[in-house]
Amino acid sequence: MDERMEQKIIFRADAGGSQQLADAVIREQPLTIYLNGQEFVTLLCTPELAEMLAVGFLRSEGLIRSYADISSLRVDEGEGFVFVETAGGSLAEKLYGKRTITSGCGKGTVFFSVLDSLKMAPVQSTLRISYLQVINLSRTLQEKAALFMQTGGVHSAALCTPTEVIYFCEDIGRHNAVDKIVGLCLKNMVAIADKVLLTSGRISSEILVKTARLGIPLLISRAAPTTLSVELAEKLGITLIGFVRGSRFNIYSHTERVQL
C-alpha cells in the first residue's frame, strides 16, 4: 500500500444503517529539522519527500537561497529527522529557537513575518496567462489529486508554466505541499520566478508572502483568499486568482497579467 496512507477498520453509518469496512486514512507524522546541530523546527506532514520538504521550508523561510548553500544533508526516515548543515553556520539562534509548524489553519509559527514582507520590492514579471489556461491548469491540479480522492485528507500544490505542470505534490498541510515543490526546484535547479503556483488550499497571508519571497508572479487557488492576502498581493505585485470552479474564477489583484 502507498506509504502515505493506511487501512483502518471503520463503521460507516447512513440512513439505511451501518456497515463495517476498511477505509484509507492519510498518514500524519512529525518531521524534525536539525539545522547546524540544533533542533530547529518540527513539521507535521505526510511521510514522503522529507528531504525536499526540509529544503523547501528553509528556502521559503529565507534561511538558504539555493541548494548550494547546504554543505550536507542527511535524512533519518525511521526517526523522522532531517539533519542539515549550511555553509553560513548556525542560523537557528537568530530565529527565537525551536518552533513547531502545525498542519492546521494559519500555520503555527513562521520565521518571516507579514510586517517584514512590507519591506520587500514588488514582484516584476512579464508573465501572462489566458482565461483558458487558468481553467485548464486548475482542472489538471484536480485530476492529479489521487491521494485526495482516496483519503480526502490532503492539500495539493503545483508549479506550472501557463500550459503545463512541472511539479505536483500533496500533503496534509498546504504549506508543506508548496515547500516540497520548492525543494524539488532547488535541488533540480528549476527556475521558479517565471512560473505559476497553484494550490488547493485557502490563500492566507503566509502563502501569499511565501509566493512573493520566491518571486512567483501568479498564484491560483480553487479556494478563497483572505483580506490581508489580497492587500499584500496588490502591494507585492502578485496576481491573485481564487475560487477557480468550473468555467469561472475571481481575480483579486494585478489583472493585467490575465488575458480575458
Residue 227 identity = T
pLDDT at 98: 47
- Amino acid letter at 85? E
pTM of the model: 0.87
pLDDT for residue 99? 52
Contact indicator for 154, 167 with CB cutoff of 8 Å:
no
Say how far apart CA 181 and CA 56 lie, in whole Å: 7
Q: Would you write out the chain's pLDDT as a tens digit for each of its 260 residues?
A: 688 888 899 898 989 889 998 988 888 999 999 999 999 999 999 989 999 999 999 998 888 999 999 999 999 999 999 999 998 765 554 554 445 454 454 444 555 556 666 778 999 999 999 999 999 999 999 999 988 888 888 999 999 999 999 999 999 999 999 999 999 999 999 999 899 999 999 999 989 999 998 999 999 999 999 999 999 999 999 999 999 999 999 999 999 999 98
Predicted local distance difference test score (pLDDT) of residue 1:
63
pLDDT at 156: 95
| Domains of the chain as residue ranges with CATH | 29-113 (3.10.20.10), 129-259 (3.40.140.10)
- What is the H or E stretch that residue 40 is in? strand 38-45
| Residue 105 confidence (pLDDT) | 47
Residues carrying an active site annotation = 105
The DSSP call for residue 183 is H
